[in-house]
């Protein structure tokens, strides 16, 4: 059986890291290693992690001086050893079948698939209530649609490194979108949907992408860095990106799925 390497960077994540780790430890697919990178935390995150993983040899934790999430993820990639690789941030949560479903889609198709992704919930906690809405990326993300929007949620991706030999994040934001553009738009890989909802993305006050003007400037820079681009294409791609992101916000609705919400409550409040 092909194992999975899971990369989790964290920085001052004492309030959220246990929920994230629980959703990994209780995966129905058990054959994985989980590599945690402490990016110079100044709270007790490291001690919390060490205590939680102390009796499970699948988990390993490393420290580095504060260098940022890109450096932490890349360090995790270097220390990983397995064919498949997945990423999870220290405040996000997986459905307990995430790894199993990500492997099973490859078995069912009986062919190598470079990248898979899944639908996910964006959620926010207000008091004792959880507000959430469902995000459903396209079934196939390829060179024809990847420039419209960053459709691929990092937390529901599984990458086959037998197919994608070179894997690292550039130290330029948004680093995940730049990676997908490199792999999908430039190198012509595709990402295939699992057609199930398998992740929970936490919306927080300290989100790096909260400043919309800065995000827009970064996206314009992304499109400016494309090979063989020109003045017209830079603005056209940026305009299309604005439209697709605006439509998602306009038409998003609070999603009431009793089973999923009960699971989320159990992970968050246990």
Query: Which CATH number characterizes residue 224's domain?
Result: 3.90.550.10
Total structural domains within the chain: 1
Cβ-count burial of 55 within 10 angstroms (0-12 exposed, 13-18 middle, 19+ buried)? exposed
Residue 38, class by beta-carbon neighbours within 10 Å (0-12 exposed, 13-18 middle, 19+ buried)?
buried
CB 106 within 8 A of CB 116: yes
The model carries a pTM of 0.94
- Mean pLDDT is lowest, of 84-88, 159-163, 248-252, for 248-252
Distance, CA of 176 to CA of 268 (rounded, Å): 26
**Does position 210 have pLDDT exceeding 70, yes or no?**
no
Segments forming the whole domain that contains residue 244: 4-269
Q: What is the tens place of the pLDDT at every residue in 48-86?
A: 999 999 999 999 999 999 999 999 999 999 999 999 999
């Amino acid at each position: 059986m092909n194992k999975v390497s899971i990369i989790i960077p964290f920085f001052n994540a004492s309030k959220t890291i246990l929920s994230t780790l629980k959703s990994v430890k209780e995966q129905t697919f058990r054959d994985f290693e989980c590599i945690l990178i402490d990016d110079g935390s100044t709270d007790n995150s490291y001690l919390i992690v060490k205590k939680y993983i102390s009796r499970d040899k699948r988990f390993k934790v490393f420290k580095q001086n504060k260098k940022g999430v890109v450096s932490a993820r890349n360090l995790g990639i270097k220390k990983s050893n397995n064919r498949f690789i997945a990423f999870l941030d220290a405040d996000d949560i997986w459905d307990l079948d995430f790894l199993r479903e990500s492997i099973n889609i490859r078995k069912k198709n009986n062919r190598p698939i470079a990248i898979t992704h899944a639908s996910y919930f964006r959620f926010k906690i207000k008091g004792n209530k959880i507000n959430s809405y469902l995000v459903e990326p396209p079934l196939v993300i390829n060179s024809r649609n990847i420039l419209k929007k960053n459709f691929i949620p990092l937390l529901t991706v599984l990458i086959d490194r037998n197919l994608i030999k070179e894997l690292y994040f550039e130290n330029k934001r948004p680093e995940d979108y730049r990676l997908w553009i490199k792999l999908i738009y430039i190198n012509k890989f595709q990402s295939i949907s699992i057609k199930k909802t398998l992740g929970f993305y936490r919306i927080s006050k300290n989100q790096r992408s909260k400043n919309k003007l800065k995000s827009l400037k970064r996206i314009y820079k992304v499109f400016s860095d494309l090979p063989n681009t020109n003045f017209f294409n830079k603005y056209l791609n940026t305009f299309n990106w604005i439209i697709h992101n605006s439509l998602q916000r306009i038409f998003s609705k609070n999603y009431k799925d009793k089973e999923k919400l009960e699971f989320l409550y159990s992970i968050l409040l246990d």
